[in-house]
Amino acid sequence: MKKRILVIGGLAAGPSAASKAVRTNPNAEVTLFEQGEHISYGICEIPYYISGEVDERGLIAYTPERLKERKGVDARVLHKVEEIIPSKRKIVVHDIRNGMSREEQYDRLIVATGSRPRLLGVDGENARNVFTVKSLENAFNIMRYMETEKPKRAVIVGGGYIGMEMADALRHRGLEVMLLHRHSLPMVGLERETRERVREELEKNSVHFVAHARTQGFAVDKQQRVTHVMTSDGSYEADIVILSLGVVPRSDVAQAAGIRVGSSGGILTDQRQQTNVDNIYAAGDCCEVRNLVNNKSMFIPLATSASKAAWVAGENAAGGKATFKGVIRAIAVKVFDLEVVQVGISSEEASNSGFDVVTETITAWDKVSIMQGSTKVWIKTIADRKTGRLLGANLIGAHGAVLRANTLAVAIQHRLTIDQMQQWDLAYSPPFTPLWDPILIAANATRKKLSP
């Protein structure tokens, strides 16, 4: 009999895991259930769709038909999995279209239920001009509202990276943008200096950043539209509201089946993406992931780790022996004209993890300074005095900050020391890089601080 692999969740990790399972065992019967209308789309591209930079056809990688044809995966949309019954190796699936529920048998199950947007839990939050940015449906709803009602004033609640990208997108479309944030500076988790620079960039681009703003409620008119956002220190007019308060793991069905989760609510797996329950694997935003820098299990909902974990879950569910060791956490975000990047852990996390933290900051030219188009890159390094290891870095620049951060990411992942980095032999050519690349300048400066 054919091995039956079921996958719950069709956004990113689900289709990846399902496709990998078919590739690993072409005889397996692989079926995927997704509660929404669409599968396999680019969440990370949504802000660029909203801004008008990419069109909607570009967002969807696979329709169910194409996934079947190209990858051999049977995907059923508008099917919500309500229950996992490990003792019977069954799941209960609710068909949203006909309202019927039925049981489906599995040999192996892959949970890829993703995350859900964090909400405020205040009155007016479900008004029709309040949107999260977590699904294709959200994106289409935002676009439809923008086109039909032509909002002029946008209020974004939450200053994380989606908040930054949405601020950029809505300014790009010509809206007035106000960004309400609970903390003094945007982008919690990044270094203070980075966050200050991001705030400046927001203000330079006429985004009105309101610090220490706790959103307490929304004033809603008779057309079910928010007109004002009420905060701890005043109310702000709004024609459209974007909630970008982060996400939480969607693990309730898994938890109800006895699958273990961490303190974040994210599912815990081993390096083979196996949960504590036999025959059940998990991958993606519904999981915690090992942070290789401080060896802690953390909730790090990023597409990069989701896709790698999904391949491993798919391969192993189909009988393979792959491993996914974890991440260092690499986050890049475009804030108007800047590339803003974090790799590894922050100085605060490093201190909390028991490292003897040494930080250094440098600013250097991204190419030979006299060449046309040269711009400056700012780098903050976070190192451990005892071992000399690089633990993390923040980078900001107009060009090349992300790709330079990726080189530092490799150093962090392989636990290289600042001394080793100083010996790096990197390419040099005036139109592309200076003789001493900014990352070497950062290594040299950090070295001096480590052993003065």
Judged by the rule CB under 8 A, the positions of this chain that interact with a second copy are 42, 44-45, 48, 53-55, 58, 292, 302-305, 307-308, 324-334, 339, 341, 343, 368-372, 400, 402-407, 409-411, 413-414, 416, 420, 423-433, 435-437, 439
CB of 171 to a second copy, least distance (A): 15
Q: Using an 8 Å Cβ cutoff, are 133 and 144 in contact?
A: no
Give the whole-angstrom CA distance, residue 76 versus residue 110: 15
Taking the complex as a whole, the smallest distance from the CB of residue 163 to a second copy amounts, in Å, to: 14
Between 84 and 362, CB nearer to a second copy:
362
For the bound state, the minimum distance from the C-beta of residue 153 to a second copy, rounded and expressed in Å, comes to: 26
Q: By C-beta, is 224 or 422 nearer to a second copy?
A: 422
> b vs e for 323-349, b when ≥16 Cβ sit within 10 Å of the residue's Cβ?
ebebbbbbbbbbbbebbbbbbbbbbeb
* Alpha-carbon gap, residue 332 to 341, rounded angstroms: 4
Residue 210 CB, nearest distance to a second copy (Å)? Answer: 25
Which whole-number Å values give the CA distances from 268 to 279, 299, 447, in the listed order?
A: 14, 10, 37
Give the separation between CA 9 and CA 277, rounded to whole angstroms: 18
Q: Which two tokens stand for residue 104?
A: 């489906």
What is the smallest separation between the CB atom of 348 and a second copy, expressed in angstroms?
Answer: 20
Residues 228-264 as b/e (b if ≥16 CB within 10 A, e otherwise) read: bbbbeeeebebbbbbbbbbbbbbbebbeebebebbeb
Concerning whether 287 is annotated as a catalytic residue, the answer is no
- Residue 231's nearest CA partner among 178, 192, 277, 269 is 178
Q: Name which of 141 and 304 has its Cβ closer to a second copy.
A: 304
From 31, 44, 143, 217, the catalytic residue: 44
Q: Which of 117/400 has CB closer to a second copy?
A: 400
Please identify, using beta-carbon distances, which residue of 214 and 334 lies nearer to a second copy.
Answer: 334
Bridge partner list, 296: 291
Instruction: Locate 206 and state its tokens.
Output: 């006429």
Residue 181 main-chain phi, psi, to 5 deg: -140, 140
- Minimum CB distance to a second copy, residue 384 (Å): 18
Handedness of CA 238, 242, 246, 252 (dihedral sign): positive
The smaller minimum CB distance to a second copy, of residues 27 and 372, is found at 372
CA distance 122 to 20: 42
Taking the complex as a whole, the smallest distance from the CB of residue 302 to a second copy amounts, in Å, to 7
Residue whose CB is less far from a second copy, 100 or 370 = 370
Which residues neighbour 265 within 8 Å (Cβ) at sequence distance 6 or greater?
A: 248, 249, 251, 255, 299
Measured in degrees and rounded to the nearest 5, phi and psi for residue 304 equal -65, -50
User: Which residues are annotated as catalytic?
Assistant: 44
